[in-house]
Amino acid sequence: MRLVLLGAPGAGKGTQAKKLVEKYGTPQISTGDLLRAAVAAGTPLGKEAKFYMDKGELVPDSVVLGMVEARLKQDDCKKGYILDGFPRNTKQAETLDNMLTAMNMALTSALSVDVPFDDLMKRLTGRRTCKACGQMYNIYFSAPKKEGVCDKCNGELFQRDDDKEETIKKRLEVYNAQTAPLMDYYSKKGIVKSVSGTGNIDEIFNKVCKELGLN
């Protein structure tokens, strides 16, 4: 599968991507995760990125595009890839197309995970992630058995800096203005599929697999 996941912040793209990785072994390329790793490592790129991430704005294309290109060139992407959180605007989508054509691994699908706008806020403010294994929870919908502790590995759960209310509002605005138009971009290419992202995670995953023709 050579896939782009579309959908607003909080739609559950990352959760579904992780389930696809688990079941099919296709690598997930999450620009958000790559950027957060650079921030945590304190690299110059990470320092530049943090400035924008903390405000809920997009990190400049020049930073993100180089990062994605380097990742796509790694060997494991020859068997496919799942792009999660990238592209975020038309410029990124166009550059990605050129990159993938040159590498002979063009996209096969763009899957949109649709969640009503009003639900997104609760999903984002309630989101908690395990520091150790990256497993995600939501204190409203899928709370861990013990508060603040990962069910899977006992790691400590944390709230992302950009999951605070003011930043979330900005991220959703940026999504509407810059990222939502990509639905049109990929529709014109005839590769858009969509699933409702509301309800039980495993049921959504079954719909995802069905839409993508996987078994």
Taking CB under 6 A as the binding criterion, the range among 51-59, 107-115, 180-188, 193-201 that sits at the site for ligand AMP is: 51-59
Q: Which one of 4, 53, 72, 111 is in contact with ligand AMP (CB under 6 A)?
A: 53
Classify residue 165 by its DSSP letter.
Answer: H
Q: Which listed residue (18, 36, 88, 123) is catalytic?
A: 88
Query: CA dihedral defined by 165, 171, 176, 182, rounded to 10 degrees?
Result: -150
| Residues between 2 and 41 with contacts to ligand AMP, criterion CB under 6 A | 9, 31-32, 35
CB burial readout 55-78, b (16+ within 10 A) else e:
ebbbbeeebbbebbeebbeeeebe
124 near ligand AMP, rule: CB under 6 A: no
Question: What's phi and psi for 159, nearest 5 deg?
Answer: -105, 130
Residues 146-165 that bind ligand AMP (CB under 6 A): 162
Told to judge if 13 belongs to the known catalytic residues of this protein, a careful annotator would answer yes
> 171, 172, 192, 195: which one contacts ligand AMP (CB under 6 A)?
171
Q: Give SS3 for 180.
A: coil
**DSSP code per residue over 91-141:** HHHHHHHHHHHHTT----EEEEEE--HHHHHHHHHTEEEETTT--EEETTT
Stretch that binds ligand AMP, among 57-65, 134-142, 184-192, 204-212 (CB under 6 A): 57-65
Q: How far is the CB of 27 from ligand AMP (least distance, A)?
A: 16
* 80-99 residues near ligand AMP, rule: CB under 6 A: 85-88, 92
Angle between helices 31-41 and 44-53 (to 10 degrees): 120
Contact of 159 with 128, CB cutoff 8 Å: yes
Span near ligand AMP by CB under 6 A; candidates 50-58, 70-78, 94-102, 104-112: 50-58
Q: Give the footprint of ligand AMP on this chain (CB under 6 A).
A: 9, 31-32, 35, 52-53, 56-59, 64, 85-88, 92, 162, 171
Residues carrying an active site annotation: 13, 88, 127, 160, 171
